[in-house]
Amino acid sequence: MKKEMIRTEQAPMPAGSYSQAVKYGNLIYVAGTCPFELGSKTVKYPGDMGKQTTLVLEYIGRILEAAGSSLDQVLKVTAFIDDLDRFAEYDEAYSAFFQVDPPARSTVEIGKFPPGMRVEIECIAGTGN
């Protein structure tokens, strides 16, 4: 098998030396995706956990689409949030995307994000093949 780098202009570009996603066989590994304005490193919806979570999952959906998959094929999610006391806000927005048979998930509190940023999400998805 050969790995394939996935890239779409419909989601934030990597801030370092990594790919938005890597497809290997029937799996897609989506890198940590942040709530940045497209084409910049400006945080959208500063301080708003729910809106940022929604935006990040929309971006991940676009990345998966570019890889030939979708949010319905997500197997595992790892989310990094700035404050576990705000988990309910995060989970409310998240659950709108995974209403039936949600993927496995881990949520970790992280100590430092850019100002106003509340969430970063990565995932592993299948291709459905």
What are phi and psi for residue 85, nearest 5 degrees? Answer: -65, -15
Low-confidence ranges of the chain (pLDDT < 70): 129
Query: Given this model, what pLDDT does residue 128 score?
Result: 76
Residue range 82-98, pLDDT digits in tens: 999 999 999 999 999 99
Number of domains in the chain: 1
Query: Given this model, what pLDDT does residue 65 score?
Result: 97
Query: Given this model, what pLDDT does residue 129 score?
Result: 65
pTM confidence score? 0.96
- CATH assignment at residue 102: 3.30.1330.40
User: Residues 6 or more apart from 13 whose CB is under 8 A from it?
Assistant: 20, 39
Residue 36 burial (10 A CB sphere; 0-12, 13-18, 19+): buried
**Which residue range(s) make up the domain with 107?**
3-126
